[in-house]
Amino acid sequence: MRKQGNVWTIVRKEFARFFGDRALLFTAVIMPGLLIYIVYSLMGENIGKSHQDDNAGPTTVYVDNLPESLRGDFDSIPFQLVTEGFNAVALIGDSLADKEKNLIYVNFPPHFDSLIAAYDPMGGEMAPNVKIYHNSNSDNSELAYQTVKTYLEDWENSRNNMFDINANAESPDAEETFDMADEDDSLGEILGQLFPMLLMMLLFSGCMAVAPTAIAGEKERGTIATLLVTPMRRSELAIGKILSLSTFAMLSGLSSFLGIILSLPRMLNGDGVDIDFAIPYTTSDYLLILCVLISTVLVMVSCISILSALAKDVKSAGTLVLPLMLLVMFVGFTPMLGGDAPEALTAYLIPFYNSVQSMASVFSFNINPAAIGITVVANIAYTAIAVFVLTRMFNSEKVMFGK
């Protein structure tokens, strides 16, 4: 009971300082959410598509009814060619819907050469239509599609436009879809690259707004000595500091998180998506993100607290924390560097990197529950280690008073 009372005393003391400073409250809690809401909303009209790198092997071009007039040319394309022994329905319905598949499916009308020879542009009949099914979310599928399409267009132009390619594909009344990309996958790919980086930066900014002044500031003002002579364990002081600082920093993170949620409809509306049905995330997705955010804030506050305890004043604490800030910013950019999330679960033991990859997996609809669980548990374990280290530092007169 005594330990809990002492911890609560530290928490109340820090809360009184935080919430009593209106400028700090606005800068650390209100402003981040307001800023991210405005920025994300404005970005909605200008955001473009990005594509994942595919590493699932060579790109395959499946072709039905390949005409003899094109066989030699198709044999020379820089992709693996398959003209028989495959299930076209499965390709369109399953494989092409998987953005990791590096393939396209080309369907020529039967007896294509004869249709071309007999086609009369002035006769009012429909031109033979070559269908190319692809997935624009796959880099390799899109590359193969553009390559084959360009080649066929050049071949078509040399024959006075005697056939069409994906006729009426762009029409809103089109009866058939040739791009099998899922709209949510396109959105998730963008958000999975962008949101983790901004969230990490905003979370770290919230931690920086409160942590250095709570320890280095107390050393600078001389009030840390009063805390250290009170009848409480140094571990209680360390836990109280980290819990209170994490709570306030988490408010900043929640403000940013709320800004993201509120800005999603505007972003999607700016991309031409129906705003009433645009938000693709579920309550469980948001809860997973929240768990990762809370555990990440604990690690951030713990690291900044340790560095602040080493500093003599707030200014020097800022200098010590700068390399950590640069590291967090760099790690936040890793989803933008391309490639898939790490398959090895041991990668999720790396602090900060695990948080970024976990958030990216949720936003991009590639959730790995085991990886997220390891991330949260690892972050809590690192926080416990930091409490132990900070307790030892509070016990050291050399660290606290420079003696």
Task: Convert 343-361 to b/e letters by CB count within 10 Å (16 or more is b).
Answer: eeeeebbebbbbbbbbbbb
Nearest residue to 360 via CA among 331, 325, 382: 331
111: alpha, beta or left, given left = phi > 0 and alpha = psi -120 to 50? left
Residue 69 vs residue 261, higher pLDDT: 69
Residue 170 φ then ψ, to 5°:
-90, -5
Of 21 and 342, which is predicted with more confidence? Answer: 342
Q: What pLDDT does 276 receive?
A: 45
DSSP states of 293-313 as a string?
A: HHHHHHHHHHHHHHHHHHSSS
Model confidence pLDDT, tens digit, residues 209-220: 777 877 787 777
> SS3 of 97, please?
coil
Q: Summarize pLDDT for 230-282 with one digit per residue, the tens.
A: 777 777 777 887 888 888 777 776 776 677 667 666 665 554 444 444 566 78
- Tens digits of per-residue pLDDT, 14-29? 777 667 766 556 656 6
pLDDT of residue 160 exceeding 70, the answer is: no
Where are the chain's structural domains?
2-50+184-401, 60-181
For residue 374, what pLDDT is reported? Answer: 95
For the entire predicted model, the pTM comes to 0.62
Residue 51: per-residue pLDDT: 39
Over 50: is that where the pLDDT of 50 sits? no
pLDDT of residue 150: 87
- Mean pLDDT within 286-309: 88
